Amino acid sequence: MLKETLTKAFSDQVNKEFYSSYLYLAMSAYAEQTGYKGIANWFFVQAQEEMAHAIHMYQYIMERGATPGFGVIQAPPTTFAGIHDVFAQVLTHEQYVTESINAIATQTMKENDHAGYNFIMWYVDEQVEEEAGINDILAKLSNFGDDPGFLYSLDNELAARVFVNPFP
Ligand code: FEO
């Protein structure tokens, strides 16, 4: 059974994943309302992924015979200073999530919970991928973000993203 300390850590992370989903939904709404339907799609898919993370982690707590904790999910910001600002905020948020996931990995090691460590390592890898993808978009925005033609092509590119459940 999952220890109480780790149950709390995983439950807090479930909350953060739900918040991430909510944040990306707010960003999707902002993008759509400012005329970037493709970017809105990218954030909508991102919101679905975060929801899948939350549910996956919740199911893991249950599978380990523990009782998950539930808390308030904070309201996300709804106003942004443009598309570049949105993605800059995504990077800051994901860096925060990475720290949180790493802290859980450290805690599972300290508590000799090998199964928990194995579980959270999937998220450690996932965070590397997420940060790399966002850094890539941010680098393009820094170089070409002032060009309306670039924003048009970025919007088209991000329109192609499709949600694939990582835990089918
Ligand atoms: Fe579930 Fe973007 O971390």
Taking only the tens place, the pLDDT of each residue in 97-133 is 999 999 999 999 999 999 999 999 999 999 999 999 9
Is the predicted pLDDT of residue 135 greater than 90, yes or no?
yes
Whole-number average pLDDT of the chain: 97
Query: Is the Cβ atom of 52 under 6 angstroms away from ligand 1?
Result: no
For residue 146, report the distance from its CA to the centre of ligand 1, in Å: 28
* 135-146 burial code (b ≥16 CB/10 A, e <16): eebbeebeeebe
pLDDT at 24 over 90: yes
On the 0-12 / 13-18 / 19+ scale of CB atoms within 10 A, 163 is middle
User: What residues contact residue 65 under an 8 Å CB cut-off, 6+ apart?
Assistant: 1, 2
Instruction: State if residue 97 touches ligand 1 by the CB under 6 angstroms criterion.
Output: yes
Please work out whether the CB of residue 21 comes within 6 Å of at least one atom of ligand 1. no
What is the Cα 91 distance to its own chain's centre?
10
141 CA to middle of ligand 1, Å? 22
| Atom of ligand 1 at shortest range from CA of 54 | 1
The pLDDT value recorded for residue 145 is 86
CB 20 near ligand 1, within 6 Å? yes
pLDDT for position 164: 97
CB 80 within 8 A of CB 27: yes
Centroid of ligand 1 to alpha carbon of 57 (angstroms) = 12
Distance 21 CA to ligand 1 centre (A): 8
From CA 133, how far away is CA 67, in angstroms rounded?
34
Contacts of residue 151, Cβ cutoff 8 Å, sequence gap at least 6: 36, 83, 145
pLDDT band at 85 (very low <50, low <70, confident <90, very high): very high
